[in-house]
Every structure is written in structure tokens, then in C-alpha cells.
Amino acid sequence: MTALTPLPSPNPLTEPYWQAAHQRQLKLPRCEACTKFHFYPRSACPHCGCRNLSWHAVSGNGEVYSYTVVYRAPSKSFAPEVPYVVAVVALDEGPHLMTRLTQIAPDDVRIGLRVTVDFRRMDDETTLPLFRRAGWSL
């Protein structure tokens, strides 16, 4: 597969996410008061307002909340990959995130499909979380 670009530039707020991903782990911020996860990262829990947050691993399991098959790439760097599936996954822990579905034909994608996290190493510093059908591995 060709490289996905542009790659993310982590900052102090998001560094734990990208460091974990590079270790092939999905970690999300969790509130110490109400114990709920949230994403994207914030300064305070969006559920209860508590500012005592820490990063914890999640199961990496979830389901397709919505998806789109992209036929016309936004830029040249994505053009070799069309058609590709951009999805919003609802994690079992609650938060949603945007991702790419991999190892699945666009026609086989459905809302509600069970998926699990996978990782694609992009270079020495960056690994992108992707999702594939649960229980499937090529």
C-alpha cells in the first residue's frame, strides 16, 4: 500500500495517543471522576467537567457507525488508493472516531459491522490506527 499523507503532527495534547498507536495500542483519555472515556482529547471531561484525566487502553473493538466509499481523492497523495472506505467507528467504550477500514471490499461494508483496530506503520515515528472486520485477519 502507498503511504497515506499528510501524516499527523502530534502536539502535547495528542502525543499520548500517537505514542500508544506507534506501540500498536489504542489509548483514549478517561475521566478519573466519572470513569467515562472521551475523544478527541480535551482539557476537561465532556461528560462531567472534571479536569482530572488520564490515558487508558481501550479494547479496540466497536462497530461501524457510518462510512463512505471515497472515489475521488481530495489530493494526489490519496489518488492511488481510491476507492477507499472512510468510516466513523463507535468504540465499545463509547467514543466515536474517524478511521479507514482495511481488508474489506467496499461493497461488504455495512453500518453496524463489528470491527477491531489494526495498525499501519507509516514511518519510523508514525503509526495510524485503522479498523478491520472483527475476527478477520489476512
Output the smallest distance, CB 31 to Zn ion, in A.
3
Strand blocks (E) in 1-126: 27-31, 53-57, 61-70, 84-91, 96-101, 114-121
Q: With binding defined as CB under 8 A, does residue 86 bind another protein?
A: yes
Beta-carbon-side half-sphere exposure of residue 40 (alpha carbons within 13 Å):
8
List binders of Zn ion among 50-69 (CB under 5 A).
50
Output Rg (C-alpha) for the chain, integer angstroms: 15
Cα–Cα distance measured from residue 111 to residue 63, given in angstroms and rounded to the nearest whole number:
8
45 binds, among Zn ion, another protein, none (CB under 5 to 8 A by kind): Zn ion
Among 56, 96, 114, 132, binds another protein (CB under 8 A): 96
List binders of another protein among 21-50 (CB under 8 A).
39-40
Nearer to another protein (CB atom), residue 53 or residue 87: 87
List binders of Zn ion among 67-126 (CB under 5 A).
none
Cα–Cα distance measured from residue 58 to residue 2, given in angstroms and rounded to the nearest whole number:
28
Residues that bind Zn ion (CB under 5 A): 31, 33-34, 45, 47-48, 50
